[in-house]
Structure 1
């Protein structure tokens, strides 16, 4: 049994640490996971509904991806700032405000009568999601003590997060096929009301952990840089790496470089750069970036392959994800116990290997294949790998982080996941589109299959990145900080 840093620390709770069995812990965890589930649902729920939405709202093909892009801009652009605000203002306050914003955006999406209204409403949803996700995770991280209890809690969180995207595909297909695509957004409103009531009852309203003033200049530079990067990557997915896309990417990198310079000159930076000297944090974010990227791209292209090549309806495609979702959930729930027994390093390496096998199986699917025979088994293998790796990656990315910076650390890893998904989808889509065009164009099933095959094979780089980062993790455990009761 390994004793490296990638193994869950077994140190006894220190003075001031969270109660090893926090009062109301299971109910609190359920509330936080419900909030995260709502967010992850909306990352993927629109994928199988896109053709129907496009037809009803008369959205041109050139702007169709903005349904996802607008959400990604709001989500990815504000995550780090929202996470830091959770530290400064209190995670409970930021969480409640985020749920309200998300509900307003969801209602507007469900009532949208044009593409433009839908795009703006999706951006509002993304902003709300950026506030909710790091605040909820920060509350979880300071509530459960280090060791097996936190590993189990993160396993449940990982099950919800990893399974949420696949359940989104399922519900998107069911609502679109049996009712209306508008239900995929309107269902969030009662969810949000339930979460607000539960948070008010179960999450304590305690003083914030961090002290200091908001770094407005740093926040502006960071948010602007992230928005330009997300926008550039999303546009690349739609039109390729044009001069406009390259300009957006370059602008984003310039703003982030200026952000790095500015953070060295302020007393209370929005992101203390010294945090990245913790190799678990820096490498953990690389793992989150690559793991999220391969998951987002695989789910998206598998759904398109089933519908565009193999003739599956949106309902059938959604139903195909049902057993995948169940297995992802089971794998993620087991990941906490596996981390405690074998260490994060071993679990993450197995996760990466299963992801790679699933991608190879998807790449082998023939144009005249059956989605139940050729796609579902591959998604099962891939999904188990994703379920196993989600929580351990988050564990690594927050190891050794003080309680006063858990909101920030949570925002960073959520940003890595979100940006990883957008960038991977953009790059792999460009590869798939170009291969398809060279093989005969999108009118040919064989050409489409060749494009998807190239995309799946290109995505193999990402599990390799995960494996390399895991092997580079420090072998000496990082001392777990004292973790007080949840701040609110």
Structure 2
């Protein structure tokens, strides 16, 4: 394994660690950070297949059930920018450990929930913990693994873990819900979270705190703005675009984001340094990180319903149906570190997004009589290959040449755009799904599939836009 730790991680006391000990330390640091990231991403999708049993057990209303997902998404997305900059200022190791601890305790509390309100409160606290740990995870990877090849490798692993985590969440959620109970979907975080905290306390290097102040006006406007936008997208998915709550939330979010950008342009120590977007390749990668989840998330959301409501698969079978997608994503994780230095970002992201477009177009051919083979199986392969190839290089492009003191801010912006893009995309596609389903004749299943295929067509259009954005990349090779 070609990895390198910063000097403070390779020194214990006054004794320089031998090479074998340094490699072991390097591996343990990587496992710690990637495990935490996988936990955070899994909790976005792992609850999906358990929702019917949660509703029956805790007596959620049909509308209230969506907040099992939305409470986590809203808080996590709203606090990512603040969490990233707070790690830069107050210490990434400290914030990472605190966030992982809070996430673990909230998972335990959620698994023990005796009521709907209790579970929703636990999901909110999970979102806070995730927003504290998530940006620090990416920043720590960037600053600890400094050798160029090692950095490309670990950032590709991080990106692949983040992408594949959506599919893995459905598989794990299906297994646990079918074999144990919905509570085990939350309890599974506890042993892994404890492992992450213990390893982090032992092996993560300490970093000096920077003498700086937190940009409070920027923090308030950014957090409120992103939260309002995400809430507006959630409301649009539930109530449509003409709803007053939707319109007010989106308008308030847009105004707050504009205020945030004005504040940041004048701040001596901004929450989000705007010069990060001056690099053409990084700005293009940020745009792709916003657009790709808009298209890709639709597959997981709608196909979960298709597999269960149309094909009649169990939660367990539904999870395993996504195995081809997860395997292809993991395959891309292992190839990106070799492909990216050789070919650069443009051909990889263009090939990946073209595969996504092909997979989504294929999904528009689904009918209520379609089976898993061959159409759905081929589409899942194309989507797994496409998402893995299109998204995995983006973390590397964005983080590879960021100054160490701004790594948290850059990582927070990356994850905020990813989360906001996914929320906006889902809101748009669910609205298209609902409008088409209501206007379709025939059986209930026919109406469902008609709505899904219309949503897949729109997602293919968004993926095609992502393909066009890839033309903006300037250089054939990424900067190291």
- Tell me whether the two structures share a fold, i.e. TM-score over 0.5: yes
Distance 2:357 2:133 in 1: 31
2:176 maps to 175
1:190 paired to 2:183: no
Q: Distance in 2 between matches of 1:153 and 1:264?
A: 32
1:377 is displaced (CA, Å) by: 2.7
Following superposition, the deviation at residue 479 of structure 1 comes to 6.0
The residue number in structure 1 matching 2:234 is: 234
Q: Which moved more, 1:318-327 or 1:159-168?
A: 318-327
List per-residue Cα deviations over 1:52-72 (Å, max 9, x = no partner).
212222212222221111111
Deviation at 1:267, TM superposition (A): 2.2
Q: What are the Cα deviations for residues 122-160 of structure 1, in whole angstroms up to 9, with x where unaligned?
A: 111111111111101111111223533222222222232
Distance of 2:436 and 2:368 partners within structure 1: 15
Q: CA deviation at 1:265?
A: 3.4
CA distance in 1: counterparts of 2:191 and 2:319, whole angstroms: 22
1:209-260: CA deviation from partner (whole Å, max 9, x where unpaired): x542111121011101111111111111112111210110101111111112
Rounded Cα–Cα distance in structure 2 between residues aligned with 1:222 and 1:404: 20
- Secondary structure (helix, strand or coil) at the match of 2:322 reads helix
Any idea what the Cα deviations from partners look like across 1:171-214, whole Å, max 9, x if unmatched? 11111112101111111011110000111122111214x54211
Within 5 A, what are the aligned runs for 1:328-343? 328-343=329-344
Normalising by structure 2, we get a TM-score of 0.92
How far did 1:393 drift? 1.1
The answer on 1:47 being equivalent to 2:48 is yes
Match of 1:77 in 2: 78
* Higher alpha-carbon deviation: 148-157 or 214-223: 148-157
Question: What is the aligned partner in structure 2 of residue 471 from structure 1?
Answer: 471
Instruction: Give the Cα separation in 2 of the matches to 1:45 and 1:53.
Output: 13
Contact 1:332 1:390 in 2 (8 A): no
Instruction: Return the alpha-carbon distance in structure 2 between the equivalents of residues 34 and 141 of structure 1.
Output: 16
What is residue 426 of structure 1 aligned with on the other side?
427
In 2, are the aligned partners of 1:177 and 1:314 still within 8 Å (CA)?
yes
Aligned-residue offset at 1:399? 4.2
Aligned residue for 1:194, secondary structure, equals helix
How many equivalent residue pairs? 464
User: Contact 2:341–2:478 at 8 Å: present in 1 too?
Assistant: no
User: Alpha-carbon deviation of 1:322?
Assistant: 2.5
The answer to which structure has the higher helix fraction is: 2
Structure 2: state its 5+ residue gaps: 11-18
1:215 corresponds to: 215
- Worse overlay, 51-60 or 264-273: 264-273
Q: CA deviation at 1:387?
A: 1.5
Q: Structure 1 residue 347 and structure 2 residue 348: aligned?
A: yes
- 1:292 aligned onto 2:313: no
Contact 1:230-1:423 within 8 A present in 2 as well: yes
Aligned-partner Cα distance in 1 for 2:348–2:77 = 27
- After TM superposition, give the deviation of residue 84 of structure 1 in Å: 0.6
Task: Provide the rounded CA distance (Å) in 2 between the counterparts of 1:331 and 1:479.
Answer: 20
Preserved CA contact (<8 Å) 1:175 1:181: yes
Within 1, Cα distance between the matches of 2:455 and 2:133?
A: 32
Aligned to 2:137: 136
Between 365-374 and 428-437, report the one with greater CA deviation.
365-374
Deviates more, 1:465-474 or 1:295-304: 465-474
CA contact (8 A) 2:272 2:410 kept: no
Alignment partner of 2:474: what SS? coil
CA contact (8 A) 1:324 1:376 kept: no
Partner of 2:397: 396
Contact kept? 1:302, 1:375, Cα under 8 Å: no
SS of 1:61's equivalent in the other structure is coil
Q: Distance in 1 between matches of 2:38 and 2:223?
A: 24
**Is 1:56 the equivalent of 2:40?**
no
Deviations 1:433-462 (A, max 9, x none): 110000038x61111111000001100122
1:65-464 equivalences under 5 Å are: 65-145=66-146, 147-208=148-209, 210-241=210-241, 242-440=243-441, 444-464=444-464
State the distance in 1 between where 2:315 and 2:359 align.
Answer: 22
Q: Residues 60 and 353 (structure 1 numbering): CA distance in 2 closer, same or farther, change over 3 Å?
A: same
Instruction: Give the superposition deviation at 1:336.
Output: 1.6
Instruction: Judge conservation of contact 1:87–1:407 (CA < 8 Å) in 2.
Output: yes
Distance in 2, matches of 1:470 and 1:25, equals: 33
- Which one has more relative contact order, counting CA pairs under 8 Å at least 6 apart? 1
CA distance change for structure 1 residues 395 and 115 in 2, over 3 Å: closer, same or farther?
same
For 2:325 and 2:220, the matched residues in 1 are separated by: 40
CA contact (8 A) 2:99 2:132 kept: yes
| Distance in 2 of aligned mates of 1:435 and 1:113 | 38
1:477 Cα deviation from its structure 2 partner: 6.8
Q: Give the aligned partner of residue 484 of structure 1.
A: none
> What is the TM-score normalised by the length of structure 1?
0.90
Deviation at 1:262, TM superposition (A): 2.1
Structure 1, 115-124 or 173-182: larger mean CA deviation? 115-124
Q: Is the 8 A contact 2:100 2:129 kept in 1?
A: yes
Describe the SS at the equivalent of 2:181: coil
Shift of 1:266: 2.9
Aligned equivalents of 2:357, 2:189: Cα separation in 1: 34
